[in-house]
Amino acid sequence: MKNETYNSLPSPCWLLEEKKLIENLETIAYVKAQSGAKVLLALKGYALWKSFDTLRPYLDGCCASGLYEARLAAEEFGKEVHTYSPAYKVEEIEAIAAISHHMVFNTPSQFHCFAKKAKEINSNLSLGLRVNPEYSASPKEIYNPCGLYSRLGTTLENFDENLLPRLDGLHFHALCEQDSDALEAVLENFDAKFGRYLSQMKWINFGGGHHITKKGYDLDKLITLIKTFKTKYNVEVYLEPGEAIGWETGVLVATVLDIVHNCIDIAILDTSAEAHMPDTIIMPYRAEVRGAGKAGEKPYTYRLGGNTCLAGDIMGDYSFDRPLQIGDKIVFEDQMHYTMVKATTFNGIKLPDIAVERRDGTIEILKTFGYEDFKNRLS
Ligand SMILES: *Cc1c(COP(=O)(O)O)cnc(C)c1O
């Protein structure tokens, strides 16, 4: 992508690079073909639905965390809709059951409350329970579903064997940006705890967090683990990655609005870490900036900050070959997953528009945001 193209985009703007998305999808298609697993898109991480035409041929459907994501999956993706929610609400059960293929409950108590009703609405619905294998090597506690006191999934101690005749499958989600050796360790723990029930199941869902499309990920190991598991228990295996689908498939383009000096040079951008890339603060992680190095690596170092009044709205310190000028574009890499699904209009700041660069290099603006999007959320 040439720099002039960035100048022609609205700012700020998310730009999906379709070619890179397809490269990820081809890796996923390879895993599916070699392992026999089914793969769903986790809408929690990536839900840019105007790209679903590109995704659909490669994937088996979506996994949703509640009614809205399930509706989006049914309306815009088609194929299989798998819904799991930490807790369903009584008023949403009918609508969720009607459009879902799999419905996964978090606890035996939720199962007892709602499974019968859900089956009455949709007799083809396949029912499952999320279990907690109580093991995870997740790198960050906030992203560890199997950490101490986790509310996500049923521990073996709380498992209710009376449910077994009514369960088609079990679900676990224990990984976060991890390689297949981490999955192997989770599977050992899952098997040790729940293995005795697995031959009664039709499917097992291995959740998300598989960093399948990251360079260096051990695909062969993943494929072997799935094949071995499928043979051992004669079950269908599902994976539901979010991040791995959108991994390194696009950028957030922003503009330098001003440069201030307070002991260091600070560039104020027309975007926000807090509002548009919150994981940079929550996780925290440092987004790569195209053409920039770490602080001090190149001659001109700047702190990049957002255009909100939050003091901590900072992307980090970056160095450049040339001094930054007002009007320069700053291109943050890898901004397709866990960004637009989390973005807010905090402090009245404009949401980034959404554009796509098609395979043939043409740019299409898919969505623009304005004042009404800010106003309409507030009453
Ligand atoms: C978040 C989540 C996913 C997707 O996780 P990624 O890290 O984006 O792959 C899948 N399943 C469940 C239950 C989740 O909570």
Question: Could you give all domains of the chain from N- to C-terminal order, each with its CATH number?
Answer: 3-15+250-335+343-376 (2.40.37.10), 36-246 (3.20.20.10)
Q: Which atom of ligand 1 is nearest to the CA of 45?
A: 8
Distance 328 CA to ligand 1 centre (A): 36
| pLDDT tens for each residue of the chain, 379 residues long | 566 789 999 999 999 999 999 999 999 999 999 999 999 999 999 999 999 999 999 999 999 999 999 999 999 999 999 999 999 999 999 999 999 999 999 999 999 999 999 999 999 999 999 999 999 777 788 889 999 899 999 999 999 999 999 999 999 999 999 999 999 999 999 999 999 999 999 999 999 999 999 999 999 999 999 999 999 999 999 999 999 999 999 999 999 999 999 999 999 999 999 999 999 999 899 999 999 999 999 999 999 999 999 999 999 999 999 999 999 999 999 999 999 999 999 999 999 999 999 999 999 999 999 999 999 999 9
Distance 118 CA to ligand 1 centre (A): 23
Q: Which atom of ligand 1 is nearest to the CA of 175?
A: 7
Q: Which atom of ligand 1 is nearest to the CA of 210?
A: 9
Q: Return the pLDDT at 5.
A: 80
**Cβ(243) to ligand 1 under 6 A?**
yes
Distance 240 CA to ligand 1 centre (A): 7
Distance 87 CA to ligand 1 centre (A): 16
Distance 42 CA to ligand 1 centre (A): 6
**Cβ(82) to ligand 1 under 6 A?**
no
Say if CB 89 and CB 108 are below 8 A apart. Answer: no
**Cβ(63) to ligand 1 under 6 A?**
yes
Q: Which atom of ligand 1 is nearest to the CA of 244?
A: 9
Helix (H, G, I), strand (E, B) or coil at 63: strand
Distance 309 CA to ligand 1 centre (A): 32
Distance 310 CA to ligand 1 centre (A): 29
**Cβ(207) to ligand 1 under 6 A?**
yes
CA dist., res. 241 & res. 178, Å (int): 11
Q: Return the pLDDT at 141.
A: 84
**Pick from 99, 150, 143: nearest CA to 125:** 99
Distance 176 CA to ligand 1 centre (A): 8
CA dist., res. 318 & res. 288, Å (int): 9
Paired with 129 in beta bridges are 105, 170
**Cβ(338) to ligand 1 under 6 A?**
no
Beta strands in the chain (DSSP E): 13-17, 38-42, 61-64, 80-84, 102-105, 126-130, 169-171, 203-205, 236-239, 250-262, 264-269, 293-294, 300-305, 314-320, 329-332, 353-357, 363-367
**Cβ(169) to ligand 1 under 6 A?**
no
**Cβ(80) to ligand 1 under 6 A?**
no
**Cβ(66) to ligand 1 under 6 A?**
no
CA dist., res. 374 & res. 366, Å (int): 18
